[in-house]
């Protein structure tokens, strides 16, 4: 059971706010009865919903976890004709969009969906969904450097900050670091290291919220379970 305004939004009829207005105006009916109560819930599999007398059909919502490989972009079309992540998915999934991005040289966990509300909750800074990265770099990374990441640094006029940071392994010539971020600004992980004149050799996103990359192979995908979707959209 879902709220009527969410059903309308999921079906692509209107945004939640516009759907609420439709309900208040008496334009929406459930099983032939006009509904004006915003708290009304409907069962997409059983109830018949109409707007202005026209039947509204529930959209088949798709939630996908993909292990993005290096060497592809997160756009549907690329000016340089590089491979895209959408070429890794079934052709009939034309309505899905990536939830955030990973750049061409980065790899790891990324979600795709046709549920706009789901995408918003995972990308808007106010929800602070945590994302974890494993980063291999050239040179030595010090504890003091990671402390500066956690306090926040300014780079190109923007404050960048890691919620947590730890050294997984390291020598004077190379290091592996795990970072956790809460906002996901453009190229934030790479820019943190660029600010310290350190070159990133490999960048992999290993976790979003409580969902881990796990054993998913590069270029492969799986659909998220109902439990995983609920975990990502509640208690944020």
Tens of pLDDT along the chain (236 residues) come to: 889 998 998 888 888 899 999 999 999 999 999 999 998 999 887 899 999 999 998 778 899 999 999 999 999 989 999 999 999 999 989 889 999 999 999 999 999 999 888 999 999 888 889 999 999 999 999 999 999 999 999 998 899 999 999 999 999 999 999 999 998 789 999 999 999 999 999 999 999 999 999 999 999 999 999 999 999 987 54
Distance CA 6, CA 107 (A): 33
Number of domains in the chain: 3
Global pTM reads 0.80
* pLDDT at position 235: 53
**Cα 227 from Cα 214, distance rounded (Å):** 16
pLDDT value of position 122: 94
The distance between the two most distant Cα atoms of the chain, rounded to a whole number of Å, is 72
One domain for residues 121 and 221: yes
Q: Catalytic: 103?
A: yes
Query: For residue 101, what is the domain's CATH number?
Result: 3.30.70.580
Contact between 82 and 74 under an 8 Å Cβ cutoff? The reply is no
Catalytic residue among 43, 47, 103, 235: 103
- Kindly state whether residues 146 and 197 are assigned to the same domain: yes
**Within 10 Å of residue 98's Cβ, how many Cβ atoms?**
22
Together in a domain, 90 and 191: no
Boundary-marking domain end, from 37, 56, 75 = 56
**Cβ neighbours for 187, distance < 8 A, ≥ 6 positions apart:** 103
Name, in order, each residue with C-beta under 8 angstroms of 63's C-beta and a sequence gap of 6 or more. Answer: 111, 112, 113, 115, 118, 223, 224, 228, 229
């Amino acid at each position: 059971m879902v709220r009527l305004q969410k059903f309308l939004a999921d079906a692509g009829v209107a945004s939640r706010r516009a759907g609420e207005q439709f309900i208040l105006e008496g334009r929406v009916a459930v099983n032939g009865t006009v509904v004006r109560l915003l708290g009304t819930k409907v069962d997409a599999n059983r109830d018949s919903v109409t707007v202005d007398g026209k039947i509204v059909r529930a959209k088949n919502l798709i939630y996908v976890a993909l292990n993005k490989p290096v060497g592809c972009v997160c756009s549907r079309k690329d000016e340089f004709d590089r491979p895209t992540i959408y070429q890794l998915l079934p052709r009939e999934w034309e309505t899905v969009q990536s939830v955030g991005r990973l750049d061409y040289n980065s790899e790891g966990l990324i979600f795709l969906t046709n549920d706009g509300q789901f995408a918003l909750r995972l990308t808007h800074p106010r929800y602070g969904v945590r994302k974890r990265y494993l980063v291999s770099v050239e040179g030595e990374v010090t504890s003091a450097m990671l402390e500066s990441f956690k306090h926040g640094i300014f780079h190109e006029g923007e404050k960048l900050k890691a919620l947590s940071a730890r050294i997984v392994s390291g020598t004077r010539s190379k290091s592996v670091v795990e970072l956790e971020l809460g906002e996901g600004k453009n190229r934030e992980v790479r820019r943190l290291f660029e600010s310290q004149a350190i070159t990133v050799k490999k960048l992999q996103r290993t976790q979003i919220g409580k969902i881990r990359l796990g054993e998913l192979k590069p270029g492969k995908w799986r659909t998220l379970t109902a439990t995983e979707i609920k975990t990502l959209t509640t208690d944020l």
